[in-house]
Structure 1
Amino acid sequence: MREGLACGFSGSMTATVLVVDDHPVVRDGVALLLRSDPSLTVIGSAESGQAGINRAGELRPDVVLLDLRLPDMLAPEVIAGLRRAHPAAKVVVFTAHGDHQGVVAAIEAGAAGGLLKDVAGTDLAAALRRVLRGERVVDPRILPDKGQRSDALARSGLTRREYEVLRLAAQGKTNPEIAQVTGLTRNTVKTYLQSALHKLGARNRVEAIGKASEAGLL
């Protein structure tokens, strides 16, 4: 039944939700917001990306409500791990920042939606039910200005290829996996990554991803 819910949700069924957020107030708040809705049940929570991946594999929730900013991992990397641990789960990113470019990166990584943390309980429940029915739900306040990322990309000095390779690295993909997705050779992927590291002033891949995120690229 769990697997079927994520594919085709019916209002008569109860769907399960896992909350991944490093703030206890948010985790408890979501549970309180959804308590009055019989169609949604919070079955667990996690305070970090890796803990969220582990919990998703154990609990197999229908929906994972994922904080955009976690202390150990970027949202696209967490989403990649969630897809490996429990592919049937729908992932919805949860953020306090309405103009964050990371929402787009998370959706590109496979998230089914993006919501602001000031959402009311009834709106949150309605959004999660829509996601369970297969819709993509993004709060209109967090749809970014397309020009913002282009401007940030221009300031960084990264080429489109360098940015594409770095974005895939931020999703947790290895060089061979990036090569497969892009059609590039592994050596070419390595060259683009090294060039991106140099332009961002980063010593390694993790630092480059962090700096790109701070610059509004991820």
Structure 2
Amino acid sequence: METITTVIVADDHPIFLEGLILLLARVEGLNVVGHATDGDQTLHLIEQYEPDIVLMNVTMSGMSIENIILSVEKQSLITQLIALTTVNDGAKAKQLLNIGLSGYVLKNTAFVDLLAIIKQVRTGKKFISPSLLASLKPITAEINKPQLTNREIEVLTCIVKGDSNKKIACDLGISQRTVCFHMSNCLRKLEVSNRTHAIVQAVNHGLIDIDLKVYDLKNG
């Protein structure tokens, strides 16, 4: 049975919004569960449906895309955000990717390519429109390495200390099910099959520092 990817589309240009929804509705395996025309509506729908993917404009009114990204991160939601924009701005793309955006896609991208980008993002990889890569050379190495969220790094850090799922859940204020979800994401993104290898890979990529965490543990 094919896994269904749930999607929310957010854009303040009605023709673009309605056209994209119609195109997505024809794709097997995708389910558009809602649409919005400003930032506040977008966050409300994300919290209501917790979709897999949000395709959203960068410059809508209401809550900014930066605050939406940070809110999704703070709430440990599974949603991955992809910016669809005409703003060909490498600095803006870098800023958003660094705080948790999964993709920065220019609106001149072909629809078939957008579908491929959605699949790529669903595997935990980030995407930037090729025309922006030249201006992003200083951070391409960062983008190509495994992209763990702050919460996923927190979970890995707790595992380094030897904490159980129950203790991690208690310390981070989340459920044990959510701990397992984040750990599963870590294994997938780091392309490993167990926690020990995940820690090794995370250290190799500079995502966590075992020596620092051990020092913290010894000192309470």
Give the TM-score of the pair, scaled to structure 2.
0.57
Q: Which has the higher contact order (CA 8 A, sep 6+)?
A: 1
Would you say 1:28 and 2:18 are equivalent positions? yes
Contact 1:99 1:141 (8 Å CA) reproduced? no
Secondary structure at the aligned position of 2:81 is classed as strand
Task: Give the letter aligned to residue 20 of structure 1.
Answer: A
Deviations 1:107-134 (A, max 9, x none): 1110111111122221111110111111
> Contact 1:97–1:142 at 8 Å: present in 2 too?
no
Name the structure 2 match of 1:131: 121
TM normalised by structure 1 equals: 0.57
Quick check: 1:70 aligned with 2:60? Answer: yes
- Give the match's secondary structure for 1:41: strand
Q: In structure 1, list runs of 5 or more residues that go unmatched.
A: 1-10, 148-218
SS at match of 1:119: coil
Partner residue of 2:32? 42
Deviations 1:46-105 (A, max 9, x none): 111111111111111100112111112332112112334562101111111223522221
Counterpart-to-counterpart distance in 2, 1:27 and 1:59: 19
CA distance in structure 2 between the partners assigned to 1:21 and 1:53 by the alignment:
13
State the match for 1:142 in structure 2: 132
State the Cα distance separating 1:12 from its structure 2 match.
2.4
Aligned equivalents of 1:121, 1:128: Cα separation in 2? 11
The match for 1:13 is: 3
Per-residue CA distance 1:155-184 (angstroms, 9 max, x = gap): xxxxxxxxxxxxxxxxxxxxxxxxxxxxxx
Sequence identity of aligned pairs in percent? 26
Query: What is the total number of aligned residue pairs between the two structures?
Result: 138
**Which consecutive segments of 4 or more residues in structure 1 shift more than 6 A?**
none
Alignment partner of 1:143: what SS? helix
Pick closer, same or farther for the CA change 1:28–1:144 going to 2, 3 Å.
Answer: farther
Please state how far the C-alpha of 1:43 moved relative to its aligned partner: 1.2
The residue that corresponds to 1:165 in the other structure is none
What residue identity is the alignment partner of 1:52? T
User: Which position in structure 2 is the counterpart of 1:118?
Assistant: 108
Match of 1:53 in 2: 43
Superposed CA RMSD in Å reads 2.3
Secondary structure (helix, strand or coil) at the match of 1:101 reads helix
